[in-house]
Structure 1
């Protein structure tokens, strides 16, 4: 069986791309999801992908809100994601505090751009339930919206959007790192679509590429060359990004504390509703036939 793996074509997915290029048995195929995690979750529901590498917060929030389309099956990136807060070239907004009471752009409902906007509101002390959002699909729509004034700002990963800022298409007015490890792996719970044995094999092999990519040896030269070739980023940006990111030692395990801490922050931000005692049961977030809680 060939697994369909959804991903966002960003530098974070370099180990996955390297695995794909060397997958001689063609055990999986990549399905690009340029609009981000919201699109990935939709494609899991629509039977367009079976496995997904996506952002921690919307994945967890989706399950808590009742999605039956996926369960968590693995870890990927263990460091926070640095979300840039981005506005139009000539907009009046100069700092995050200026955004209170304005309309923020998001890619899709349930996306990381939406959940992190709520986290930003929590950190700023704004009423989290009063944040207004406008869906703009992808980075192109988001950039257009902050420049035509239909939104005040949007949030996207810092280095992914830095080329837009370097060209003068947008401005950065701040950043908000995630209070949790930034990427997890999910899969559809049906054994017909994502057989546990096939998913475990995929994760075990991905671990090999992740460990190699995260090594000091690869970071010194090979990673820089790979990312520059695939994504066209300047060497200085690649080296700066590498200083901020670490990958998991084992894609087949998820720390339970990560799930608990993320849920508590999402609850505080109003992204998920408060649970009755005894609170969140992290075991129902995972597929125990595939992944271990540690």
Structure 2
């Protein structure tokens, strides 16, 4: 039995991993897969890959592409979620801001530098025609940190996955003033290079298991209720989210990832591009 450590955010996108672990599907394939929830998100996951704290990360596309270019010794082995991630743009419920346009030159709460909440602020700024040089950030680490920061006024707005943040909006803590979808597939699976060198066949078996799970995930009996209960969501919201979400079972392709690099370069999120072969095994 080969032990592998995997990490990802504690969000509904990753329930297929938990389902397969709990059903013993990885064990049947000879893999003892240990999952770690990382509420801090992509920046922390990149750090864990670099430090060898995890072998594998289910991670936002833009964050890991940026970090591999910056020297993260990992490769993207598969697209995990093909559909865009819809980032809600949130303000404190009692704040004076009513539209996305009101947030120009205001302070953005981010989980950490290099995180999705950081990088998507640049995407949103470009969409709005703002000068990205004027973006200002407050590190809040987690969703709870963002709640404190917006409520206390140390930051002005926070971008996070729309559906995971919906309960906070429903409670009257946040108000959503807009959405910003990613212009690329939302999640990928990244593996440390040394793991790929020594355990490539095991990684391929792991991918076979998760792909079999995601392929039929939406057809699981009562999946809306399971997701709603596990992640504190309303069933109607989960049903809408499931309609929008498309898991992937495909390897990265050169056209898509060259385009992603060009988009990140245009946003000044990266300073240079690298060959597709440096991003993937």
**2:81 pairs with 1:77:** yes
Alignment of 1:23-172 (within 5 A): 23=24, 25=27, 27-68=32-73, 70-172=74-176
Contact 1:107 1:138 in 2 (8 A): yes
Contact 1:108 1:114 in 2 (8 A): yes
User: What's the C-alpha RMSD, in Å, of the aligned pairs?
Assistant: 1.6
Measured after TM superposition, the shift of residue 38 of structure 1 is 1.1
Unaligned runs of 5+ in 2: none
List per-residue Cα deviations over 1:204-251 (Å, max 9, x = no partner).
11110010114xx33xx4321321232231110111111111111x25
Unaligned runs of 5+ in 1: 288-294
SS of the aligned residue for 2:239 comes to helix
Measured after TM superposition, the shift of residue 60 of structure 1 is 0.6
Measured after TM superposition, the shift of residue 274 of structure 1 is 4.2
**2:262 pairs with 1:264:** yes
Measured after TM superposition, the shift of residue 194 of structure 1 is 6.4
Once superposed, which parts of structure 1, at least 4 consecutive aligned residues long, lie more than 3 Å away?
191-194
The number of residues matched between the two structures is 276
* TM-score, scaled relative to structure 2: 0.93
Measured after TM superposition, the shift of residue 151 of structure 1 is 0.7
List per-residue Cα deviations over 1:41-74 (Å, max 9, x = no partner).
1111222110010111101111122322x21111
Measured after TM superposition, the shift of residue 193 of structure 1 is 8.6
Q: How far, CA to CA, are the matches of 1:77 and 1:36 in structure 2?
A: 16
Q: How far, CA to CA, are the matches of 1:199 and 1:274 in structure 2?
A: 29
Deviates more, 1:4-13 or 1:225-234: 225-234
* TM-score, scaled relative to structure 1: 0.89
Measured after TM superposition, the shift of residue 196 of structure 1 is 1.1
Measured after TM superposition, the shift of residue 129 of structure 1 is 2.8
